[in-house]
A = this chain, B = another copy of it.
Amino acid sequence: MWYQREIQLSAKKRGFHLITNEVLRELDAINNIETGLLHLFIKHTSASLAINENADPDVRHDVEAHFNQFIPEYAPYYDHTLEGSDDMPAHIKNITIGTELSIPISDGNLKLGTWQGIYLGEHRNHGGVRTIVATIHGQAI
């Protein structure tokens, strides 16, 4: 069984955001899968998908602070500067963190750990609406 759709994420400010609920409310099809996988793919090169802690919002703050420190704006070796000082770091953050994720499905639900949620890394100052392609495949219940 295969199911695929695009999901539009509302515009978010630069930083890391917990999007588990925003994604799952569009994916009732997961409830029909006994054993399978959900694949998420963000169709942008300046935003990322990751899995991390779903509880303390300080974690998301610190993750953003870390990547701003170690993937800086205005590095002297950047040639690609025409699209703004946040653009080239956004590309490198995307390559470092990743564009896509697969998450196991079991008995109609995502098989995440207790403390795991889905993160959007929005790396542009004004990234706007972002599009994810969600692909579900598995054995029907």
Contacts and interface: CB of A to CB of B under 8 A. Distances in A.
Majority secondary structure of chain A interface residues (helix, strand, loop or mixed) = mixed
Nearest to A77: B65
Interface stretch (A7-15, A18-26, A102-110): A102-110
A86 interface: no
| Copies of this protein, total | 3
B36 A2 contact: yes
A77 B66 contact: yes
Interface in A22-55: 34-37, 39, 41, 43-45, 50-53
Interface of A: 2-4, 34-37, 39, 41, 43-45, 50-53, 56, 58-59, 61-63, 65-66, 69-71, 75, 77-80, 88, 91-92, 94-104, 106, 111-116, 119, 131, 133, 135, 137-139
